[in-house]
A = this chain, B = another copy of it.
Amino acid sequence: MIDAEQRLFELGLKLPDAPLPVANYVPFLISGDQLFISGQVSKDDAGHVLTGLLGSSASIEDGRKAARHAALNILAQAKAALGSLDRIVQVLRLTGYVASSPGFSEQPKVINGASDLLVDVLGDAGRHTRSAVGVASLPLGASVEIDAILKIR
């Protein structure tokens, strides 16, 4: 089993503070062995939102970076919920929403920014099922929003 905290250190990554909800809901809930995490937008460590529409004002590389930040926020929420990332058994489901122009169809490449990070940090426990879809727009003008369901111990 991978030591996720050690792995973050090796990758030169630091989890951001778990973002506070921007409205009347909670960032995570535990039910039995499942951890539900609210949609996390692409916000960097400084709290700056990575914005732009894929297929128009944002490049695929911008999108990948945005997805990576959204996934770091998912991990930050998981750590806030669980105390330690080592309690993650498996990331079960990721839904990746990509702000997209009607002609854009590279959502999988964008959301790979999140998927790759989760596998880099969590190893096999980070391998997840996922959907990637292109939406009209996202909160705060974000390029990417990702929510998740995790299996925990």
List residues of A whose CB falls within 8 A of some B CB: 22-29, 31-34, 36-39, 53, 55, 90, 92-95, 97, 99-109, 111-112, 115-116, 119, 127-142, 145, 147, 149, 151
| Chain B residues in 8 Å Cβ range of A141 | 105
Contact B92 A128 (CB under 8 A): no
Cross-chain contact A108 with B29 (CB below 8 angstroms): no
Q: Is the CB of A107 within 8 A of B139?
A: yes
Among A38, A105, A151, chain B packs the most CB atoms within 10 A around the CB of: A105
Cα of A135 to Cα of B106 in the assembled complex, Å: 14
Given contacts A37-B129, A92-B36, A95-B131, contact A108 B31 (CB under 8 A): no
From B26, B133, B145, B151, contact of A135 by CB (8 A): B133
* 7 cross-chain pairs, A with B, having the tightest CB-CB distances, nearest first: A39-B131, A134-B137, A38-B129, A23-B108, A24-B115, A105-B141, A36-B129
**When the two chains form their complex, are residues B32 and A133 in contact, meaning their CB atoms are under 8 A apart?**
no
Given contacts A22-B108, A108-B139, A139-B105, are A131 and B97 in contact (CB under 8 A)? yes
A143–B32 Cα distance when bound, in Å, is: 34
Verify B53–A130 contact, CB threshold 8 A: no
| Chain B residues, Cβ within 8 Å of A116 | 24
Considering the complex, give the chain B residue whose CB is closest to the CB of A106.
B139
Q: Which residues of chain B come closer than 8 Å to A149, judged between CB atoms? A: 36, 93
Provide the bound-state CA to CA distance between A18 and B135, in Å. Answer: 26
- For A127, what are the chain B residues with a Cβ–Cβ distance below 8 Å? 25-26, 29
